[in-house]
Chain A
């Protein structure tokens, strides 16, 4: 069974602060994808990143960075110099890496509500 845990239910920061969202996962698969999605109040999911289990290199995209640690089964997400527009719910998710007959279901974490205030 797959499981994704986002222990932080809600985080509040002041604009320009850095913030890290934690994600810990469990899977019996040796190969898998990890994702981060942003869900603003409109509800539409915004894809942020997909990493495969072979690639543990950290990734940076603008103010966003991700730290994948296979040894601790974690895939944490850091926003540098947060902005009000970053306020949203952020979901971490997990799915099989290769095509499966079962359809490659995504397992989502419970989400972290990030509030960035002025």
Chain B
């Protein structure tokens, strides 16, 4: 089956620093990837849609200058949390869309737990 990885699986950083999270589709190409954020005991909220070779589309209320998304290849999308603050501490999950024969599947990564101290 299709596999999506995320790196790192967890990260602790100091307030004011930036942290990059990688999302890779290991055995398929994904022109579209998605980034979600999940706060404790809450649902997954879509942050942005990442499109290979073009700018990401951000959901309302998500600061694009704070959450930089780069989808430079068909197998890699990165999310950089710039100038992180404790309120950015969350579980970040990516998914990658596999298109096949006019239909599609979405595969989720295992998530990255970010703690900002």
Contact = CB atoms under 8 A, between A and B. Distances in A.
Interface string B36-57: 0010011111100101000001
Contacts, number: 55
Nearest to A47: B108
B69 to A, nearest CB: 13
B43 A108 contact: yes
Interface of B: 32, 34, 38, 41-46, 49, 51, 57, 91, 93, 95, 97, 99, 102-104, 106, 108, 110-111, 113
Interface of A: 37, 42-45, 47, 91, 95, 98-99, 102-111, 113
Nearest to B91: A43
Residues of B contacting A: mostly: strand
Nearest to A96: B104
Contacts of A43: 38, 91, 93, 110-111, 113
A103 B51 contact: yes
Contacts of A111: 42-43
Contact of B97 (A37, A47, A104): A104
A91 B34 contact: no
Given A43-B111, A44-B110, A45-B108, A103 B57 contact: yes
A106 B104 contact: no
